[in-house]
């Protein structure tokens, strides 16, 4: 996410120094509309607690115009920020966050959609202080004429929505169900390849579909995907879908990333309260952040990883997860590059289902050009899928034998 914002910010590096003036600020029930007399450069919003406020920074703009209050907004303040533009501050009479923003009227009008939240949620959004950014897009319509061609906004999906259950592939209900979870999606691109901007969310979806096809060919299991297109799911929804479908195994597909491009190989993670090493702790922190988009915790619970407590009933599930992880390592080793210490442990939110063996498969490094070329090729996907299929076959054959 931060990478995406950075890219958008780069886009505006070297923005010419123009200054639009605020014409009018209007607050309707669940919406703030700010009108400028000219196109502005960009805008970003964040919330502040104690007292509760929404701050809106606008580049290429200066204070002016009249303001009106209404809804949750009890007062509006405007201040210049010099070369950086201006800040509008909205005092709130009840905790409210910005869920969406869009520019209209050729970049001269910004509309923010508001939503009331409970105190906890507001406090969390304020604590992380991440910004939601909005850009009017510039198309040079002629000599020095700035004309907006289209608008870019970053909508934040609703946190509480009804779980739509995905399609289950395979007709024989007596077969165990394996749920494959393509990591990230929608507003959350996951890690991005520094060399060719390939996004983790796209790579994981292609891999998940290959695994589905390979498992279906074997005919021994039924398969469902948590997502089959580019959509955002919070971490709890991912295993929530699998639990609702009464899945017997949950496999979350990801790509690893580090700053330098030399780290290589696949690894598998299972749940534990304590990370097996520093690298695993860092990975868990990164993957658990998927719920926090633009400073709003969409998971509805704290994503503080130290709070992922494991209860005793989970021990058996954890053992089963660990044995599947070892099996996957054994089957994958001849087929694809693995890290020497393949099986690791970390407190990963997506593996938190208490009653369903779950693993997170980091198929390779998206930050490493060779790794990503492999895992995002049809040959690489085929090898990953074959590794999973072999491990799945043995896993369920063993369980059958044990019963």
Q: Which residues bind Zn ion (CB under 5 A)?
A: 183, 190, 254, 287
- Residue 166, judged by CB atoms within 10 A of its CB (0-12, 13-18, 19+), counts as middle
For Zn ion, the closer of residues 92 and 366 by Cβ is 366
Whether the Cβ atoms of residue 223 and residue 360 lie closer than 8 Å to each other: no
Task: Please identify, using beta-carbon distances, which residue of 183 and 185 lies nearer to Zn ion.
Answer: 183
Measured from the CB of residue 275, what is the shortest distance to Zn ion in angstroms?
16
Q: Which helix (H) or strand (E) holds 241?
A: helix 235-244
Provide the minimum distance between the beta carbon of 3 and Zn ion in the complex, in angstroms, as a whole number.
13
Q: Give, for 126, the enclosing helix (H) or strand (E).
A: helix 119-128
- Least separation in angstroms between residue 360's CB and Zn ion is 8
Between 107 and 190, CB nearer to Zn ion: 190
CB of 160 vs Zn ion, minimal distance in Å: 23
Residues 6+ away with beta carbon under 8 Å from 98:
45, 47, 54, 112, 113, 114, 132, 156
Measured between its terminal Cα atoms, the distance across the chain in Å is 46
Nearer Cβ to Zn ion (96/358)? 358
Dmax over CA atoms of the chain, in Å, equals 77
Segments of 29-95 assigned E as strands:
31-36, 42-48, 53-59, 61-62, 66-67, 73-80, 86-92
Nearer to Zn ion, 78 or 193 (CB): 193
Report the nearest approach of Zn ion to the CB of residue 93 (Å).
39
| Among the listed residues 320, 232, 308, 224, the one whose alpha carbon sits nearest the alpha carbon of residue 272 | 308
Of all residues in this chain, which one has the CB nearest to Zn ion in the complex? Answer: 254
Q: How far apart are CA 372 and CA 198, in angstroms?
A: 9
CB of 253 to Zn ion, least distance (A): 9
Return the residue matching tokens 């704290």: 302
Q: Rounded to the nearest whole angstrom, what is the least distance from the CB of residue 183 to Zn ion in the complex?
A: 4
Q: Dig out the tokens for 347 from the structure.
A: 């407190």
Is the Cβ of residue 68 or residue 196 nearer to Zn ion in the bound state? Answer: 196
Residue 190 vs 337, nearer CB to Zn ion: 190
Taking alpha carbons only, the member of 212, 257, 239 closest to residue 364 is 257
């Amino acid at each position: 996410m931060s990478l995406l914002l950075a890219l958008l910010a780069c886009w505006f590096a070297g923005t010419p120094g123009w200054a639009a003036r605020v014409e009018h600020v209007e607050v309707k029930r669940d919406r703030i509309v700010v009108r400028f007399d000219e196109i502005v450069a960009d805008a970003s919003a964040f919330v502040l607690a104690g007292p509760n406020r929404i701050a809106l920074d606008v580049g290429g703009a200066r204070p002016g115009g009249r303001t009106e209050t209404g809804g949750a907004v009890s007062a509006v303040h405007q201040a210049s920020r010099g070369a950086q533009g201006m800040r509008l501050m909205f005092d709130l009479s009840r905790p409210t966050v910005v869920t969406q923003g869009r520019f209209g009227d050729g970049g001269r009008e910004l509309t923010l959609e508001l939503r009331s939240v409970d105190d906890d949620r507001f406090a969390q959004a304020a604590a992380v202080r991440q910004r939601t950014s909005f850009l009017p897009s510039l198309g040079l319509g002629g000599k020095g004429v700035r004309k907006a061609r289209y608008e870019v906004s970053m909508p934040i999906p609703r946190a509480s929505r009804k779980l739509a259950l995905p399609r289950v592939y395979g007709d024989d209900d007596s077969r165990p169900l394996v749920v494959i979870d393509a990591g990230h999606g929608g507003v959350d691109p996951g890690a991005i390849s520094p060399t060719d901007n390939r996004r983790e969310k796209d790579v994981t979806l292609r891999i998940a579909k290959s695994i589905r096809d390979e498992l279906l060919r074997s005919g021994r299991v039924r398969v469902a995907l948590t997502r089959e297109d580019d959509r955002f799911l919070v971490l709890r929804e991912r295993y929530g879908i699998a639990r609702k479908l009464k899945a017997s195994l949950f496999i979350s597909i990801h790509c690893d990333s580090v700053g330098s491009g030399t780290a290589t190989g696949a690894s598998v993670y299972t749940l534990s309260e304590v990370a097996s090493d520093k690298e695993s702790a860092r990975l868990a922190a990164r993957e658990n952040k998927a719920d926090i988009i633009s400073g709003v915790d969409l998971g509805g619970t704290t994503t503080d990883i130290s709070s992922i407590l494991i209860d005793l009933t989970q021990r058996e599930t954890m053992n089963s997860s660990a044995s599947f992880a070892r099996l996957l390592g054994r089957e994958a080793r001849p087929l694809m590059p693995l890290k020497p210490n393949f099986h690791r442990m970390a407190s990963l939110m997506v593996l938190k289902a208490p009653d369903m063996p779950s693993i997170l498969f980091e198929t390779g490094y998206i930050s490493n050009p060779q790794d990503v070329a492999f895992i995002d090729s049809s040959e690489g996907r085929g090898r990953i899928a074959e590794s999973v299929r072999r491990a799945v076959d043995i896993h369920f054959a063993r369980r059958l034998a044990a019963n």
